[in-house]
Amino acid sequence: MEFIDLFAGLGGFHLALRELGHQCVFACEIDDQLRALYKENFEQEPKGDIREVDIQNEIPEHDILCAGFPCQPFSQANHGKGFDCPKWGDLFDYVIQVLQAKKPSYFILENVAYLKKHDSGKTWQKIRTDLESAGYHVDEESFSPHQFGIPQIRKRMFIVGNRSGSPCFPELPPCVELDIQKILDKEPPEARKLPEYQVKCLEAWQNFLELFPSDVQLPPVPIWSREFGATYPFEDETPYALGVDKLREYQGNYGTPLKDLDDDEVWQNLPTYAKREQNKFPPWKIQYIDRNRKFYEEHKSQINKWIPQILDFPRTYQRFEWNCKGEERNIWKLIIQFRGSGVRVKKPQTAPTLVVRSTQVPIIGWEKRYMTPKECARLQSIEGIKLPQPDSRALNALGNAVNVEIVKRIAQVLTSGSGNYTLREGQLNLFGTKVENHE
């Protein structure tokens, strides 16, 4: 079959469908460097901005339309404006125009999982209605690579359609072994080492973990260290609702008294999330603050001795997420990620979601280094193509890429009309991991 690759990026759709024996007859990609790299990797030069493509005359007839249309308008992390996004919000309309003009038998679209919830579900309902109006039976499902034996947790929404009958998705193996070691190289010389200030930050958090015996449970919420010693109100009203004068009766970050501070200093000594102009905190935030303050009250003698170790780090580094219940409390044996929400530590079986920010690349704790672009490419099932340079560009592109293995499974089932494509008992997946089907 012949397919087209819209918003092509690194060419994940191309890799998946080519492996199934299909041929790409058209591609478009707005980024100049990625467009040149696509030509180098696939011997095919994409068109640029789809807004400037003559759909009727420049796009050939084809059987499958593939598009990972830009996710930023629908991303929860980016507070996306949906179709109102001035930069990307109109791009889905061009997918509809191509479907209406060329009427391919199938389409496969990919976007963030949050798309289904965006604008209380109204965005997804409009997308579905537009696709059905173009003449397609439509279905959607969210998949993560870890469900297919690939050691990355990265849920994405896949939307499929065909012009005759209900489309199908692959069935998942009931039990899949996961091992991040399958995609890692041993101490690769090109890997970026952790800078000293990040090492020191992690050492401070390791010291925090060692304050408590193993039978003391850590809070089941992210640790917001600025709440240690704070007393400003949070359950019935916010600092904003209370006003700066009354706030002086309380204590801010790390128990700092607010009574003798000027107005600006009062606000500077509150956590960022507590200074927003709102009269009531959402329930989840109330719970986080409450759990942190209770934990501090139970262990304040140990915590007060530790607090000076964390004070000189950026505010995001003063938050900590321990997603490793049951693991030895040793950061250096685990997977780490510096995120906008704080320092996150995960079990060593899977990598966290790859994102477009090169500052959030997963860290291999036992080697005190960042994952390399080559390793991140394996998390996206991408092998055998050149990646952008420098590494930051490669990591950005990989964070935007579709997972090749998932697309391949979906395309095989969609075009065969059967939802029964699963790995056989004992069959090895892309990374040599055995799949076990338990009846």
Q: Is the separation of the CB atoms in 59 and 39 below 8 Å? A: no
Angle at 266 between CA 262 and CA 267, to 5 degrees: 125
Of 24, 28, 66, 71, catalytic: 71
- Residue that is written with structure tokens 């991040």 in the block: 180
- Residue that is written with structure tokens 């090169």 in the block: 358
| Among 133, 339, 107, 303, residue whose Cα is nearest residue 218 | 303
C-alpha distance from residue 437 to each of 173, 177, 261 (Å): 6, 11, 64
Residue 96 identity: I
Torsion of CA 60, 398, 386, 346, to 10 degrees: -150
Residue 278 to residue 376: CA distance in whole angstroms: 40
Residue 223 identity: I
Helix (H) or strand (E) holding 231: none
Q: What is the SS3 assignment for 84?
A: helix
- Residue that is written with structure tokens 């965005």 in the block: 123
Helices and strands (DSSP H and E) totals, the chain: 13, 14
Residue 332 to residue 427: CA distance in whole angstroms: 33
Supply the DSSP string of 266-283, one letter for each residue: HHHTS-GGGSSS-SS--H
User: Would residue 71 show up in a list of annotated catalytic residues for this protein?
Assistant: yes
Residues annotated catalytic, as ranges: 71
